[in-house]
Amino acid sequence: MLPDADPLALLEAFLLAHAKVEAVPAMLYVRGEELYQRLAAAPPAHPAWGRFLVAMGHLAADHLDDSAAASRYFLQALQGVARHGDHEAAVTAGYNQGVLQERRRHLAHALAAYRAAASEGFRCGAVNANTLRAATAAVRVRFAEDGELGDVAPLAKQAWLGWLWLRVNDPTQLDAALVEELSRQLAALLLPEDDPGLLMAAWRSWPPTNVPLPDGGTWEDADPLCRDALFAAAAEAADAHLAEESSDPGAPYRLLRAAARRIL
């Protein structure tokens, strides 16, 4: 039985136990279920509740192989963000919900979860790896199904903007798999086929023109730092994904970057 204690103290104790490698997942999940039953009718309006729901989803998915339970917890963390206020937890939950649905081959539900997670992340300025993962997953699923981006096209631009901002400000968040997907999508969807000099025109014409940042500001697609990062990313993407088209596909973008730097 759970002790008669303050709900936030119980949530923090659970999260602390979840973070420890020596925790026994099955036992921790049972305690978490008890805690959920106690608090679910009137959940605390606190970020710890969002993190708790995500942790329970991870336990159900990764250790108990119960995708239905995991999906319920992830969905509550995403849909309950207005109450618990932890936007990063909501984004993580939405992304994980999309992964679960995609594994089940429920692609429409997966797309909805990815799109909701990415949209929430960008809306509240959560420019982080999971927001970008959700956005690139939405783009990938939608394009694979329809051969076009449709209403997820803005997520592609927002993901690239977020990527460029992280390249400049917090590159440690960018793991190899995420960069590979962002780079592949940039090469496939944005880089001009015939004239690399048209990159900036294509970039500026693709909405939106900015993403909100954690500090309340915005990262603009016309910012010189953003442009510099775009040319660098374009050169790397071309080298990685367009090598069959020329001997040095990234060279034009490196030249454009150097020219822009001289102008500045």
Q: Please check the confidence at residue 1 and state whether its pLDDT lies above 70.
A: no
Alpha carbon 13 to its chain centroid, in Å, reads 28
Mean pLDDT across the chain:
93
Q: What amino acid is encoded at 159 in this protein?
A: A
- Residue 247, pLDDT > 90, answer no
Hey, is 70 helix, strand or coil?
Answer: helix
Write down the pTM of the prediction. 0.89
Domains and their CATH numbers in the chain:
1-105 (1.25.40), 150-264 (no CATH)
Instruction: Find the helix packing angle between 87-103 and 67-79, rounded to 10°.
Output: 150
- Has residue 2 got a pLDDT over 70? no
- Taking residues 196-220, what's their average pLDDT? 96
Between CA 206 and CA 252, with CA 154 as vertex, the angle to 5 degrees is 40
In the numeric block, the tokens 């460029």 are attached to 164
- Of 6 and 198, the structure prediction assigns the larger pLDDT to 198
